[in-house]
Amino acid sequence: MTPRITFAVAARVLGQLRRDHRTVAMLIVLPALLVSLMWWMFTDSPATFDRVGGPLLAVFPSIIMFIVTSVATLRERSTGTLSRLFTMPMAKLDFLLGYALAFALIAVVQALVVVSIALYALDLDIQGAAWQLGVVAVLDGVLGTALGLFASAFAATEFQAVQMMPAVMIPQILLCGLLVPRDQLPGVLKAVSDVLPLSYAVDAVAGVARGNGFGEGAGSDALVVTAFILAALGLGAATLKRRTA
Amino acid sequence: MMKNAVTCRDVVVVRGGREILHGVGFDLAAGTVTGLLGPSGCGKTTLIRSIVGLQARVTGDVEVLGLPAGAPKLRGRIGYVTQEPSVYRDLTVTENLRFFAAVLGVPSSDVDRVIDAVDLRSHADVQVGQLSGGQESRASLAAALLGTPELLVLDEPTVGLDPVLRRDLWELFHRLAADGATLLVSSHVMDEASRCDRLLLMRDGDLLADDTPQGLLDSVGTVDIEQAFLTLIDRKAGAQR
């Protein structure tokens, strides 16, 4: 791995995004719009919004990042740029980390926007610190990025890649505790939810919202999310093949 | 003694259960321009991908610059141009080349050199997606020239270019060879054959001929390469009957 190359990939991805206004708008504005929609739906029961609003700050950014990044390596495969890069001194992890870094930066902006709007415009009531909510929201965006990069190493075409979203993300959304608290799930499903990354992403946000700061549980959930991010990137690099049929 | 930049022996490639290359063998002498000619689908791209180390399920020996093909130490010493222009369409020519220069670790002054080499100075700041097909493939070629690689493997680099540009590019290829680089240039256009130092004629995953253009014409007894190609196919069919 070479930092020079990792940063070159990250700078290039950001350079491409700079020209792609629609994608940037999707990444930055859409999570905030969706949270606002939820707020509107629950106008008459603000307590419900306070309960689901926090977890949604984890769910929306990670889904959106997942979709965008899951086609990223496929795009490079189909245009031949990945082949060219593989004849250059670029490690597979340079490539994935470069993408992760670029989208992590987007995730920071995304989290700033969505958390600010949720807390200050929509009056989402949380007990914990706003900055901790922000940190967890960034982590959740990066989690979506890393899972998307991992999934895209498996898909052979962009067509297959977009199908990964319902396959990989929807089960996690159902089991993450947003619809049914995880400790009320049937035993088997509870066990499944215990190994899914989004469960910890939602637990971390919910923990901060309940007032359990990083010192009291939310911190260890955030660490688990970080471990999932690193594992997804490592496995993605292992799955990405230089030699293909 | 002339050193070989590429040595292939009994190269067999299987893709999707079908054998694409049936035991191909040849040498590329350092500092030469070799044309890899044959119809579309004959295995040219598969052979090229085996040489640059991107093809899976290759058996036989492929040695590149004294190392097994795909060896990590070869990365950056080979310039590879895929059939599709492998550049980012949403970046300008200069932005693309700066990125690849950074990956290769070559100074950004090299970017100006390669832009001039492919005659894209006037379009250096245009997004690749807005270029014509010929300009786009020249941008892709420019990226392969970065860092002055010892081996250049070019998959159909002159498709869609006008005759003047094609002539200029072939002059560039020979200048690069004169400076010590080895070039393997694939084409399905037979009239590019006369521009090569040496020819590899391929059909259906087999090498039909490995000779100089003149040597090929003399041995087959024809006046043009296309005719020589057809004669060789007929002879092979006759021999198999």
Residues 6+ apart with CB under 8 A from B83: A80, B45, B155, B156, B159
To the nearest 10°, report the CA torsion of A221, A235, A233, A148: -90
Nearest to B78 among A8, A9, A87 (CB): A87
pLDDT given for residue A216 in this prediction: 84
Contacts of B114 (CB under 8 A, 6+ apart): B97, B142, B143, B145, B146
Task: Assign B159 to helix, strand or coil.
Answer: coil
pTM for this structure? 0.92
pLDDT category of residue B117 using cuts at 50, 70 and 90: very high
Mean pLDDT of chain A: 92
Does B56 contact A244 at a Cβ distance shorter than 8 Å?
yes
Q: Which residues in chain A are contacts of B144 at CB distance < 8 A?
A: 84
Nearest-CB residue to B52 (from A12, A87, A245): A87
**Hey, are the CB atoms on A20 and B90 less than 8 Å from each other?**
yes
Give residue-wise pLDDT tens across range B35-82: 999 988 999 999 999 999 999 999 999 999 999 999 999 999 999 999
pLDDT confidence of residue B177: 96
pLDDT of residue A162: 87
Give the pLDDT of residue A201. Answer: 95
Give the number of A-B residue pairs with CB atoms closer than 8 Å: 94
pLDDT value of position B2: 55
Query: Residues B84, A80: contact at Cβ < 8 Å?
Result: yes
Q: Kindly give the parts of chain A with pLDDT less than 50.
A: none
At B11, the amino acid letter reads: V
Task: Give the model confidence (pLDDT) of B179-234 as tens digits.
Answer: 999 999 998 888 788 899 999 999 999 999 999 999 999 999 998 888 998 899 88
Phi, psi values for residue B211, rounded to 5°: -160, 175
pLDDT tens column, B10-21: 999 999 899 999
* Residue-averaged pLDDT of chain B: 93
Gap from B123 CA to chain A (nearest CA, Å): 18
Closest Cα in chain B, distance from residue A140 (Å): 28
Which residues in chain A touch residue B72, judged by CB atoms under 8 angstroms apart? 89
Closest residue, chain A, to B103 (C-alpha): A5
B104 → closest Cβ in A19, A20, A88: A88
Inter-chain CB proximity A88 and B76 less than 8 Å: yes
B1-76+183-241 belongs to which CATH class? alpha beta
3-state secondary structure chain A: CCHHHHHHHHHHHHHHHHHCHHHHHHHHHHHHHHHHHHHHHCCCCHHHHHHHHHHHHHHHHHHHHHHHHHCHHHHHHHHCHHHHHHCCCCCHHHHHHHHHHHHHHHHHHHHHHHHHHHHHHCCCCCCCCHHHHHHHHHHHHHHHHHHHHHHHHHCCCHHHHHCHHHHHHHHHHHHCCCCCCHHHCCHHHHHHHHCCHHHHHHHHHHHHHHCCCCCCCHHHHHHHHHHHHHHHHHHHHHHCCCCEC
Query: Which of A79, A242, A243 faces B86 most closely, judged by CB atoms?
Result: A79
A13 touches chain B (CB under 8 A): no
Supply the pLDDT for residue A86: 95
How buried is residue A173: exposed, middle or buried, by Cβ count under 10 Å (0-12/13-18/19+)?
Answer: middle
Sorted by where each begins, the domain ranges of chain B are 1-76+183-241
What ipTM does this complex have? 0.92
Which of B15, B84, B102 is opposite residue A8, by nearest beta carbon?
B102
* C-alpha B42, offset from chain centre: 15
Which residues of chain B neighbour A83 with C-beta distances below 8 Å?
49, 52, 54, 80, 82, 86
Q: What angle do CA A116, A98, A148 make, to 5 degrees?
A: 70
Give the full edge-to-edge strand order of the sheet including B18-29. Answer: B18-29, B4-15, B58-64, B67-68
